[in-house]
Amino acid sequence: MEKFTFNVSEGKMTVNNDTGDSKSAASVAENRDEGRVHYEGIVERQRKASFRKKLIGGLALIAVLLLGFFLLIMLRHYDNYEVLGTTKIKDASASKYEMFNGSLLKYGNDGAILTDATGKVSWNVGYEMTAPEIDMCDGYLIVYDRGGSRIYLLDGVGEVSEISTTQPISKAEVSGAGTIAVIMKGELKSRIELYNKKGETLASGELHINNSGYPTDIALSSGGQLLMVSSIGYEKGEVVSKISFYNFGNAGRNRIDNIVSSYKYKGTVIPEVDITDKGRPVAIGTDKIICYSTGNKPAEKSVIEPGEQMKSVIHNDKYIGFVVAEEGKDGVLQNTLKLYTYHGMKRYSKKLDFEYRDIKLMDDNEVMLTDGHKVNFISVLGMNRFFINDDEEIYDVVNKKAGREFYFVRSDSVQHVKLCN
């Protein structure tokens, strides 16, 4: 039988005819097919590798462009503004202003007015209050009389319901579902009421000062099921603040008084608590800020300790900021603004150049400071984004929307302005 041996030498294939055992012609064909498959596999792998390299390169380019655009926006500085429109309002500076559902809310002792972007009045609610306060969440807004007994629940269309309480109101909160939590203080006990948007009582309870302490603040989650209560008392002659979380959903159904978690802080007074729209609970004390986890049973997540007495504290869904007086190189105390995440990570620390009257954390995470004439916006990178020193007094600055448009409240008008150079 004829025998064949295949040798590969210098890229050429030669066939030697000899005697002895050799592969059959069928085996030769099979090997040839296997080689072709192997070659095609190599080509396919190279093609995929090339595609991955191009994809990674394209994504890297997009990331660089986005980063460049972000830095361009963050580092851009404005030193002037353009007036887009002016609304004359008698005693405009005597009222307070906020943005609600993309419209400008004006409220005071004798009523509240909501005006849309075109200047058209959406609704006008009249009332008489000594100390009107508001709270808003998603599409709902409440106006209540601190120390009084009246609460108005409103939405973008107008009044939804009106609630009269049996005791003076200390604080009220509204959820995105229209649920309202109210704390009413008495001499020996306080009362917490939970209402639905129709004004019907959902839950109620009493806090006895001897057992639960004196309530200082409450916060309600956007879903309306989680209630955060801060109280202060004494234990063995020492001041103790307590944070309690009540869950009125399934998580707290089998818990005593619906309490799912609670924490004590010795030597600390906690006058303010909040649950952000993203469900992040935060307790603001005189010497520390405590952040808690989200969910049905909040737990301590991070503690920010400024080390100095805080003069102001601001926060939104993403950041917490505060101002402390720190000693500079010349030994003189100077106000310092510090911005942190809810994880306790510092974003920046910045010395302030003037004594401010008002400070806010705006919708685009910029910090606004004003003394009535000077207005300074500080970006999330700690850079001065906008600064003016206006001759006419500015009583308030309201975020129209994230970006470059704002409202300046003057003594007898409200100006719609846009930042420019």
pLDDT at 27: 64
Yes or no: say if 382 and 348 are a contact pair by the CB < 8 Å rule: yes
Tell me the three state secondary structure of residue 286. Answer: coil
pLDDT at 83: 95
pLDDT at 37: 60
pLDDT at 292: 98
Mean pLDDT of 198-218: 88
User: Is 339's pLDDT higher than 60?
Assistant: yes
124-158: pLDDT as tens digits: 999 999 999 999 999 999 999 999 999 999 999 99
261-317: pLDDT as tens digits: 999 999 999 999 999 989 999 999 999 999 999 999 999 999 999 988 899 999 999
- Assign 211 a pLDDT band (cuts: 50, 70, 90): confident
Yes or no: say if 341 and 321 are a contact pair by the CB < 8 Å rule: no
- Assign 73 a pLDDT band (cuts: 50, 70, 90): low
Give the span between the Cα atoms of 257 and 260, in whole angstroms.
9
30 token code pair? 């099979």
User: Is 70's pLDDT higher than 70?
Assistant: no
Q: Say if strands 310-315 and 300-304 run parallel, antiparallel, or are unpaired.
A: unpaired
Give the span between the Cα atoms of 348 and 321, in whole angstroms.
10
pLDDT at 5: 42
83-131: pLDDT as tens digits: 999 999 888 999 999 999 999 999 999 999 999 878 899 999 999 999 9
What contacts 267, CB < 8 A, 6 or more positions away? 238, 239, 240
381 token code pair? 């990178």
Task: Please give the share of the chain, as a percent, with pLDDT higher than 70.
Answer: 87
pLDDT at 281: 97
Give the span between the Cα atoms of 387 and 265, in whole angstroms.
40
Mean pLDDT of 343-363: 94
What contacts 198, CB < 8 A, 6 or more positions away? 161
158-171: pLDDT as tens digits: 999 999 999 999 99
pLDDT at 12: 43
pLDDT at 392: 96
User: Is 10's pLDDT higher than 70?
Assistant: no
Give the span between the Cα atoms of 171 and 273, in whole angstroms.
11
User: Is 7's pLDDT higher than 50?
Assistant: no
Task: Please give the share of the chain, as a percent, with pLDDT higher than 90.
Answer: 67
pLDDT at 74: 57
Question: Does residue 350 or residue 24 have the better pLDDT?
Answer: 350
User: Is 377's pLDDT higher than 80?
Assistant: yes
Give the span between the Cα atoms of 60 and 329, in whole angstroms.
43
Q: 343: buried, middle or exposed (CB in 10 Å: 19+, 13-18, 0-12)?
A: exposed
Give the span between the Cα atoms of 132 and 292, in whole angstroms.
30
Enclosing H/E stretch for 417: strand 413-420
Average pLDDT, the chain: 88
Q: Name the phi and psi angles at 176, rounded to 5.
A: -70, -10
Question: Does residue 33 or residue 233 have the better pLDDT?
Answer: 233
pLDDT at 71: 57
Query: In angstroms, what CA-CA distances link 66 with 34, 63, 73, 237, 364?
Result: 48, 5, 11, 57, 17
Give the span between the Cα atoms of 197 and 200, in whole angstroms.
7
In this prediction the pTM is 0.81
- Assign 67 a pLDDT band (cuts: 50, 70, 90): low
Fold designation for 129-305: Methylamine Dehydrogenase; Chain H (2.130.10)
Give the span between the Cα atoms of 247 and 29, in whole angstroms.
76
Q: 269: buried, middle or exposed (CB in 10 Å: 19+, 13-18, 0-12)?
A: middle
Domain locations in the chain? 3-69, 129-305
